[in-house]
């Protein structure tokens, strides 16, 4: 099977961030399938374009066994809202040129486009029609709702366009993959998408990589190297954007300044500079901003932590999402302070792998942190519970096979 993936944020080999399809495509190519990725030249949180892409419209390269075509994205992507919109549309144009012309001599059996941004669906649709192949559209975020709820998307014309594009995509896709049960319910009840068109394939953890690292990682030496011995470490890994509302972690850190708690905030994003300035202005000494780091390095900071945390802004849309890093915390046997209501809260409570923290409530966060400090046995048991639950339900290799089975069924129907 020859798979064409359209993914604007497909990571470089040394790049941090969500690696769902980097891991899927690696597993697929190891099994003998041919995978080509049409990707962007600017990551969602990168401050600027890499030197190797400056002045170029297309760069074709190998990442392991995966063939990647990096396409032009405007350098204004992370500079303003208008710049971000042009970043989306410039990738639609360059991605279409890559799909229909740069790769015109290559044959594909199926195309997948994964959002956000929503507009990658345009590339998937046109590619599927021109090449006469099935098309899977994946929903990793309920967009435009999440952008509207967080105040990122305000222009009524753009909002109407986004809703029109969304409706068109859901109608035309061969199958729609969603990451949470709430996404499926939302698409059926609110978007009127037929239930038999939707397949749930959630995010997951790369247990093989984590288990290998755990067998060699010296936690005590790592703590000593960074002068963190004796500290109770709370690690946050992920985006530093408007949607994440990381001020709530700084507020919690202030409440815990006398509790020997250290917050590690690892990642990057549009809000990071402002957050660092706030930390320095208010002398919040028990918060460290680190990274971004590639995935193997991030696992070390999770393994060294006492707990991991996932937080988002307190808006209705985020009650439908699973936080990507939740599964990494589980794989590393770390209990979770879950600052996201809805399905994420249900996940940690059902698996008994952590404690729910009221979103944007630093007093709730401080209270639950102290509870875990004072109950080390509970902390340890929650970490073990999460590992076993994720191993049985969210193993990347198992879900990779589920994706392959979906693709094979569509190809067989043609």
| Residue-wise pLDDT tens digits, 233-287 | 999 998 898 889 999 999 999 999 999 999 999 998 889 999 999 999 999 999 9
Peptide bond into 336 cis (omega under 30): no
Cα 102 vs. chain centroid, distance in angstroms? 28
What is the predicted pLDDT for the residue at 155?
A: 79
Cα–Cα dist 284/272, whole Å: 15
The boundaries of the domain holding residue 386 are 207-393
**Do residue 353 and residue 387 come from a single domain?**
yes
24 and 89 both lie in a single domain = yes
Beta-carbon neighbour count of residue 413 at 10 Å? 8
Backbone angles phi, psi at 370, to 5 degrees: -60, -35
The per-residue pLDDT of the chain, averaged, comes to 91
CATH number at residue 312: 3.40.50.2000
Query: Is omega for the bond preceding 133 within 30 degrees of 0, making it cis?
Result: no
Would you state the pLDDT for residue 316?
87
**pLDDT value of residue 80:** 63
What's the rounded Cα separation, in Å, for the pair 326 and 349? Answer: 13
Structure pTM?
Answer: 0.84
Report the distance separating Cα 46 and Cα 269, nearest Å: 7
Same domain for 54 and 31? yes
227 and 158 within one domain: no
What residues does 177 pair with on adjacent strands?
A: 138, 199
Residues 214 and 178 in one domain: no
Assess whether 211 and 349 both reside in one domain. Answer: yes
What tokens were used for 144?
A: 């435009």
Q: How many domains does the chain have?
A: 2
Report pLDDT for 305: 97
200 lies in the same domain as 317 = no
What was the pLDDT predicted at 352? 97
Same domain, 258 and 372: yes
How many whole angstroms separate alpha carbon 384 and alpha carbon 391?
A: 11
Same domain for 297 and 399? Answer: no
Same domain? 28 vs 85: yes
pLDDT for 78 equals 58
pLDDT of residue 16: 64
**What's the pLDDT score for residue 405?**
96
pLDDT of residue 33: 97
Burial 41-60 (b: 16+ CB within 10 A, else e): bbbbbbeebeeebeeeebee
65 HSE (CA, 13 A, CB side): 15
At residue 275, the pLDDT reads 97
> Quick one: 163 and 217 in the same domain?
no
Alpha-carbon distances of 271 from 3, 149, 335, rounded to whole Å:
36, 17, 26
Residues 6+ apart with CB under 8 A from 389: 330, 351, 353
Residue stretches of the chain with pLDDT short of 70: 16-18, 44-48, 76-83, 152, 414
Note whether 175 and 222 are same-domain residues: no
Q: pLDDT at position 323, please?
A: 84
Angle between the 396-413 and 207-214 helix axes, to the nearest 10 degrees?
160
* CA dihedral (116, 122, 125, 130) positive or negative: negative
Residue keyed to tokens 């600052």: 339
- What would the pLDDT profile of 360-396 be if each residue is shown by its tens digit? 999 999 999 999 999 999 999 999 999 999 999 999 8
d(CA 240, CA 311): 11
Residue 100: DSSP 8-state: I
């Amino acid at each position: 099977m020859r798979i064409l993936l359209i993914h604007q944020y497909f990571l470089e080999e040394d790049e941090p961030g969500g690696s769902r399809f980097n891991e899927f495509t690696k597993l697929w190519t190891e099994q003998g399938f041919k995978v080509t990725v049409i990707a962007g030249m600017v990551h969602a949180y990168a401050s600027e374009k890499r030197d190797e892409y400056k002045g170029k419209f297309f760069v074709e390269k190998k990442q392991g066994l995966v063939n990647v075509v990096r396409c032009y994205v405007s350098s204004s992507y992370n500079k303003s809202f208008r710049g971000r919109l042009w970043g989306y549309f410039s990738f639609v144009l360059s991605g279409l040129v890559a799909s229909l012309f740069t790769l015109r001599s290559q044959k594909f059996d199926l195309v997948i486009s994964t959002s956000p941004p929503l507009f990658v669906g345009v590339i998937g649709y046109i590619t599927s029609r021109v090449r006469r192949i099935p098309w899977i559209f994946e929903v990793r975020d309920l967009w435009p709702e999440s952008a509207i709820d967080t105040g990122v998307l305000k222009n009524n014309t753009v909002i109407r366009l986004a809703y029109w594009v969304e409706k068109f995509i859901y109608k035309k896709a061969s199958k729609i993959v969603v990451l949470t049960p709430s996404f499926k319910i939302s698409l059926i009840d609110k978007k009127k998408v037929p239930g038999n068109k939707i397949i749930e394939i959630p995010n997951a953890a790369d247990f093989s990589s984590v288990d290998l690292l755990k067998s060699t990682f010296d936690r005590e030496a790592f703590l000593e190297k960074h002068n963190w011995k004796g500290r109770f470490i709370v690690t946050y890994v992920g985006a530093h954007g408007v949607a994440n509302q990381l001020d709530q972690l700084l507020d919690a850190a202030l409440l815990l300044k006398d509790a020997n708690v250290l917050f590690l905030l690892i990642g990057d994003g549009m809000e990071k500079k402002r957050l660092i300035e706030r930390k320095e202005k208010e002398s919040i000494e028990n918060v460290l901003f680190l990274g971004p780091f590639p995935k193997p390095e991030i696992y070390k900071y999770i393994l060294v932590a006492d707990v991991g945390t996932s937080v988002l802004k307190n808006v209705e849309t985020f009650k439908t999402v699973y936080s990507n890093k939740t599964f990494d915390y589980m794989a590393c046997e770390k209990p979770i302070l879950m600052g996201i209501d809805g399905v994420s809260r249900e996940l940690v409570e059902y698996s008994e792998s952590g404690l729910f923290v009221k979103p944007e409530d630093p007093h709730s966060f401080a209270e639950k942190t102290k509870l875990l400090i004072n109950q080390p046995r509970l902390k340890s048991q929650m970490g073990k519970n999460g590992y076993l639950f994720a191993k049985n339900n969210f193993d990347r290799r198992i879900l990779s096979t589920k994706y392959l089975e979906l693709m094979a069924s569509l190809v067989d129907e043609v």
